Structures are given as structure tokens and as C-alpha cells.
Amino acid sequence: MKNQKPKIFIVDDEPLLSEMLSDYLNEQYLGFKIKSFATGEACLERLHENPDAVVLDYYLNSKEKDASNGIDILKEIKKQNKNLPVIMLSSQKSYSTASQTIMFGAVHYVIKGQDAFSEIYELIKANV
Amino acid sequence: MVDLSFLEKFTKGNIPKMKRYISMYLNTAPDSFQKMQQNIEDKSWAELAINAHSLKPQAEFMGISSLKEALIEIEDKVKETRVNDLNIVFERAKSIHKESEIFLQHFMDKS
């Protein structure tokens, strides 16, 4: 990692995944500064804090029906900072969904599952 | 029905941490089932698929593979508009959840 204290934003409306991912990343590298958000809107409000990477769930409206979906948040993040690495998360094994997120600027599309944690860590290391 | 080996490996056998994750699951899963029940009553199939989809990774982390499979089946049936017997699959998922809930609660109490 080029950055010794990378700031990572995790955006997921499922608290269990956010908590597990946050714990996992902190165990791999103590220098991470991690912030979790339950909605994309909350993440956008803090984008001025200049995170080094964003881990963003594709489905963000299972809890709050009015919340924007991950793809809309991805577009907005890219509009504000096109160089910010965004790793998309989903439990949907779909080529079209994955390619759609890549098309809108995500660096990678990770399937939520037991291997997701190490994959996300490797992707963060490679991109910050 | 419940295989906690992933959670055990993930936490490196840290029981308080395992309990924290299990407790988070036990606190949120009933709400997901309530929403899915309502989705079925309202015939809100797209929302049902989203709620099943959201619960899927949590079921995987808790090692409840039969629940994960039932949730995938719900998603697939919605996708293929085979909604006639969705209620049967949902009832199966709910029953798996109930059984796994007892197992997980037992783990919380004894550990």
C-alpha cells in the first residue's frame, strides 16, 4: 500500500457484513481508518473526507425503500471523484450486473460470501 | 443444519466475537422473515426477492446452507415468474430459520 493510513468507507445496509468486514480489515492491517454507512446517501455526505477506497453494496434499499441503489451511488461518487477506487459488493452472481458496475467505474465486483473478506482486502491493498 | 466452522475460523475461535456476530444475525433475521411474509401476502414479488437476496450472505456466514439454498430458490422463482408455489418454499425457509435460531440461541446460552 502506498498510503500508510488509508481511509476506507464501507457502505452496506446489512450491519453484520459491515461489522465482519470492518473487523477483518482491522485485523489484517492496523493502519486502516474505517467508517461504515448504512446508506449511500450517508456516504455521499462524508465524501469530502476523502476516503482512499469505498466498498459499496449493490443493493442498498432492502431496509430503506427510498434509499438510492448502489449503482446510483457509484455514479455519484465517480461524478465527484473519478479516481476514487470503488469495490462493488453483491450476493448476485450475475455477469451483466458485474459488467454494469465496471462500466460505471468500479474497480471490481465481489460476490458476498465467505471468500469476500480476503478478496476485498487484496483489492484494497492493490488500489490504495 | 448449522455449521459454525466458518465463523469459528473467521474469528480464530474467539467466542465473544462469534457471539457478537450470531447476536447480530438473531436480531435482524426475524425482521427479514416478517418482511418476506408481508411481501408474499402483498404479492410484492420483486421486494420478496430483494429481501431473500439480502439475507443470503448472512445465512452463509452463519453456516446455514439449507437456508441459503431456500433463499436462492425464492429468488430464482421470482426471476422466472414461477410464483405459484413460492409460499411453500418460503414456509420451508422459515422452518429452517426457526430450527437454526434454536441452535444458535443454544450456542449463545451455553458458551
The CATH architecture to which B5-110 belongs is Up-down Bundle (1.20)
What are chain A's domains?
Answer: 7-127 (3.40.50.2300)
Using CB atoms, pick whichever of B6, B17, B54 lies closest to residue A62.
B54
The pLDDT assigned to A64 comes to 64
Nearest CA in chain A to B6: A114
Nearest CB to B50 within list A20, A59, A114? A59
- Chain B residues touching A116 at Cβ < 8 A: 57
CB contact under 8 A, B28 and A13: no
Where residue A111 falls (left for φ over 0; alpha for ψ -120 to 50; beta otherwise) is beta
3-class secondary-structure state, position A66? coil
Contacts of B58 in chain A (CB under 8 A): 14, 16-17
Tell me the three state secondary structure of residue B39: helix
Q: CB of A64 within 8 Å of any CB in chain B?
A: no
- Mutate one of B39, B61, B67, B72 to test the A interface: name it (highest A CB count within 10 A): B61
Going residue by residue through chain A, which has 128 residues, state the pLDDT in tens, using 9 for 90 and above.
778 899 999 999 999 999 999 999 999 999 999 999 999 999 999 999 999 999 999 988 666 666 778 999 999 999 999 999 999 998 877 788 888 899 999 999 999 999 999 999 999 999 99
In order of B7, B18, B22, the CA distances from A20 in angstroms are 10, 10, 11
pLDDT in tens, B72-98: 999 999 988 888 889 999 999 999 999
By three-state DSSP, how is residue A9 classified? strand
**Which residues, including other chains, have CB under 8 Å from residue A94's CB and lie 6 or more apart?**
none
